[in-house]
Structure 1
Amino acid sequence: MPIEPYLDLSLLLLVCIAAINDLATRRIPNRLLLTGLACALLLHLLSASPGASVLKAFSGMGVGFAIFLPFYLLRGMAAGDVKLIAVAGAFIGPEEAFEVAVLTWCVGGVMSLCVVLMNGRLRLAFTNIRYLLSGFMVPGIHMTDMPLQQSAGSIPYGLAIAVGTITVLLRHYG
C-alpha cells in the first residue's frame, strides 16, 4: 500500500491546525502533536517495508528536533515549535525535514523582521543578537549567568513551520 499520499495529507492537516492554533492562542497543543506522531508511526507501520519506513520516521524526527533544539535552548523558540518540527520530520524523513527547517528559517526570519520593523524595535533586536552571540564568543560566560533581555517581539512560529512544510509538499505534487 503506497502510504506517501496519506502521510502528506495527514502532515498538511497537522501543520495547518498547528498554525491556526498558534495564531489564535500562541500555543501548539501536546495532544495535537502526540496524535500527529501516532498517525505518522501508524502509517509508516502500514507501509510495504515497515522497518525501513519507521526508521525513516525516527530519523526525520531526530533531524527536526536536533536542528531546532538549539533555538529553544537560547530562548528563541518555544518548545511546541521544536516538537512540531520533530513530528513533521516523522512524516517526511530526514532529508525533507532538513529542507522544511531551512525554509522555515527563511519564512520565520522574514516574519520576525516584519514584526521588529512594525514595532520599531530594530535597535533592541540587534542588542539581543549581540547578547546571544556574546554567550558563544566570550569564554567563561554562560547564557544562564546573563540577565534576560527584553524581547524585540515574537512570532507564531507554527505558521512559519506550516509554510515551510507546505512548500516542500507542493514540490512533490506541483
Structure 2
Amino acid sequence: MPIEQYLDVVLLLLVSAAAINDLATRRIPNLLLLAGLSSAFILYCLSVAPGTSLLSALGGMATGLGLFLPFYIMRGMAAGDVKMMMTIGAFSGPDEALEIAILSWCIGGVMALAMVLWRGRLWLALRNIKQILYGVLTPGVDAAAVAPQTSAGAIPYGLAMAIGTIIVLLDHHG
C-alpha cells in the first residue's frame, strides 16, 4: 500500500477520534494531535520523495494555522480547533487543507445556526456578531476589549472538521 493510503487511514482515525472526544468532553487532546503529527512526519520520511512530502506537510500546517488562527484571536474558536486544523493540514497539504477548512466553516456554520435556533439564542448570537464586527472593522477599537461577554453557545468544531475531512477524502478517492 502506498504511503498516501496510510496517511489517509491515519487521518481518518485521527479526525474520528478527535470528533468523538470533542463531542464527549468538548476538548481535543494535545496528545492525540501530537501522535497524529508524529505519524504524518514518520510516514512522509518513508515516502519516495521525503523532502517534497515534508515541505507539503509544512505548507499544509501553515495553511491550517493561518486560516483558523484569526478565529481563535477573535475568541470564535478554541485553541484545540486551530491545532487540529494545523494537524489536518500536515496530512493533506495546503490545497486540501484549504478545501477542508472551507467545508468545515460551512458545516460549522450550519451546526452553530441549528444550535442557536434550538436553544432560542438567535438574537444573542446576532448581537454578538454585531459586537465582533464592530471591534474588527472600527479603526482604533481593540477587538478584544469589545468581545461579547455572553456566549450564544459553542459547538464541537472537531466534528465539523472531521466531516469536512471525510468529504474531501471521499471526493478525492471516490
Q: 1:54-73 residue pairs with structure 2 within 5 A?
A: 54-73=54-73
Q: How far apart in 2 are the matches of 1:14 and 1:132? A: 32
Q: 1:1-174 residue pairs with structure 2 within 5 A?
A: 2-146=2-146, 148-174=148-174
Shift of 1:140: 1.2
Shift of 1:147: 5.5
Contact 2:132 2:146 in 1 (8 A): no
**Cα deviations by residue, 1:20-54 (Å, 9 ceiling, x for unpaired):** 00000000000000000000011111110000000
Letter in 2 for 1:13: L
**Cα deviations by residue, 1:35-90 (Å, 9 ceiling, x for unpaired):** 00000011111110000000000100110010000000010100000000100000
Q: How far apart in 2 are the matches of 1:144 and 1:157? A: 22
Aligned length: 174
TM-score, normalised relative to structure 1: 0.97
Shift of 1:146: 2.3
Q: How far apart in 2 are the matches of 1:145 and 1:162? A: 32
Contact 2:116 2:152 in 1 (8 A): yes
Which segments of 5 or more consecutive residues in structure 1 lack a partner in the other structure?
Answer: none
TM-score, normalised relative to structure 2: 0.97
Letter in 2 for 1:105: W
Which segments of 5 or more consecutive residues in structure 2 lack a partner in the other structure?
Answer: none
Shift of 1:149: 2.3
Q: How far apart in 2 are the matches of 1:147 and 1:117? A: 22
Q: How far apart in 1 are the matches of 2:54 and 2:147? A: 43
Letter in 2 for 1:116: V
Q: How far apart in 1 are the matches of 2:47 and 2:61? A: 18
Contact 2:135 2:147 in 1 (8 A): no
The Cα RMSD (Å) is: 1.0
Moved over 3 A (4+): none
